[in-house]
Amino acid sequence: MVDAPVPILDRGVVRPRSPHRSPTCSIVLYPPGATLGPRIQMDYQPVLLHTGSVHVTVDGIPRDMPAGHVGLMLPGALGFFAFARDRATRHRRMALGLQFLDQRTRRALDGAVNCLSLSAAMQTCAELARDAVAVDEPAEQPVLSAMVQAALTLYLAEATHVATARAAEHPAIARAIGSFPTRPARRVSSIAMFQNSHNGPGVSGRGLNPPPRQHEA
């Protein structure tokens, strides 16, 4: 199910800090080879990629976002989007204007990583946001606003968790693990796998080694 058609190529230039903008949540399907932009991003926008992929150029800096990831778009950035050529790209996007976030949160989002693995928690948050559209007060949309704020807060928490986990991996441990001999272990494991797959119950692995010769009388 798709909530919005493929956006028309946007060649206009709009001010990144526009007046009050309502929060949004929708699912968009782009056909193979579709492009969007260049356009100036208006809101804070987490983009959940379900199928396909997108090559994004933001302020002249390219980056790729494959399926199974969530990307963060920031207001004021000039972006161009080129979607997968060999398949359709389906993504869920949420958007929230500057006026809904305090300065501390905006500053944290501005400095966050631009892409993370898509977690089950983020997926659930996006689904709840979409469900809120049907019951929300249409003018101000307070429920949807709260849900998108929750998604952005979750993004910051997950980004912090990833950064902490990477920092905890001491370089000396990584080097030590990399220095362990692995080839003999793989060879022994391969032989064991061969034995397990070819030997039935009560059958030994003698097929791998020739039987001892009998002494002639």
Is 104 a member of any domain?
yes
Smallest CA-to-CA distance from 126 within 157, 93, 174, 81 is with: 93
Average confidence (pLDDT) over 167-177? 64
What is the pTM assigned to this prediction? Answer: 0.69
Average confidence (pLDDT) over 138-160? 94
pLDDT digits (tens, 9 = 90+) for 52-81: 999 999 999 999 999 999 999 999 999 999
Is 57 a member of any domain?
yes
Average confidence (pLDDT) over 75-92? 95
pLDDT digits (tens, 9 = 90+) for 113-125: 999 999 999 999 9
Copy the structure tokens of residue 184.
Answer: 């003999």
What is the domain count for the chain? Answer: 1
Place of tokens 């905006």: 106
Is 185 a member of any domain?
no
Side-chain half-sphere CA neighbours of 206 within 13 A:
6
d(CA 46, CA 148): 9
pLDDT digits (tens, 9 = 90+) for 36-50: 999 999 999 999 999
Is 11 a member of any domain?
no
Smallest CA-to-CA distance from 123 within 67, 188, 177, 169 is with: 67
Find the farthest-apart pair of alpha carbons in the chain and give their distance in angstroms, rounded.
105
Is 156 a member of any domain?
yes
Helix and strand numbers (H, E) in the chain are: 5, 9
